[in-house]
Amino acid sequence: MSRTALAGRVTADAPPGTVAFLIGMRVNRVRKVRQWLPVATAMPRMLQELLAQPDLGLLAARTYVSGRTVLTVQYWRSAEDLDRYARARDHAHLPAWRDFNRRVRDNGDVGIFHETYVLDRSETVYVNMPEDFGLGGATGLTPLAHRGQRAAHRLDSSVPDVPAVAPY
């Protein structure tokens, strides 16, 4: 992540159909390293592959760790790109998915999850944040005033753009 924050308020310039994809794992039995380590090492391989080949559709990704849970927030160009990658025999995901299903899906030692959101309507605001953060970092930024001062207005332009605090 960039160490330099942009001054002021901006919002993401995400085209409709952009995808926010949350994917991760949870270690349920810490001592079962042989079960969860292959799951933990699969994601960095996939991200390396995706970042080296932008035409696959991944726009940006950031990984967070909290206790036993690892979460990677990904932004994709489209749901079709995400699905195509998930099922591609010649890329890293499908073999890792099959390995997980063969080795650990029913034993409870490690859990995996994902959530997929197609962003046909989205609202973001970044105040004094690095330009490569979040959805805005993946899709580009635009001054907040171009889309409206109020979050409700940015989601629905029929809502009056009357901010609760003075714009800055």
Q: Kindly report the CATH number assigned to the domain that includes residue 105.
A: 3.30.70.100
Does some domain include residue 143?
Answer: no
Whole-model pTM: value is 0.88
Q: Which of 128, 118, 111 is nearest to 71 (CA)?
A: 111
To which H or E segment does residue 98 belong?
helix 93-103
Does some domain include residue 10?
Answer: no
Does some domain include residue 161?
Answer: no
What's the confidence (pLDDT) of residue 8? 86
What's the confidence (pLDDT) of residue 164? 84
List, run by run, the mean pLDDT of 10-residue segments along the chain (168 residues): 83 95 96 93 96 98 97 98 97 93 88 95 92 94 88 89 83
Q: What is the edge-to-edge ordering of all strands in the sheet holding 58-66?
A: 58-66, 69-76, 18-27, 110-119
What's the confidence (pLDDT) of residue 150? 87
What's the confidence (pLDDT) of residue 84? 97
Does some domain include residue 146?
Answer: no
Residue 57: CA count within 13 A, CB half-sphere: 17
72 phi/psi in degrees, rounded to 5: -115, 120
Does some domain include residue 58?
Answer: yes
What's the confidence (pLDDT) of residue 106? 86
Q: Which of 22, 33, 31 is nearest to 72 (CA)?
A: 22
Domain that holds residue 29: 18-119
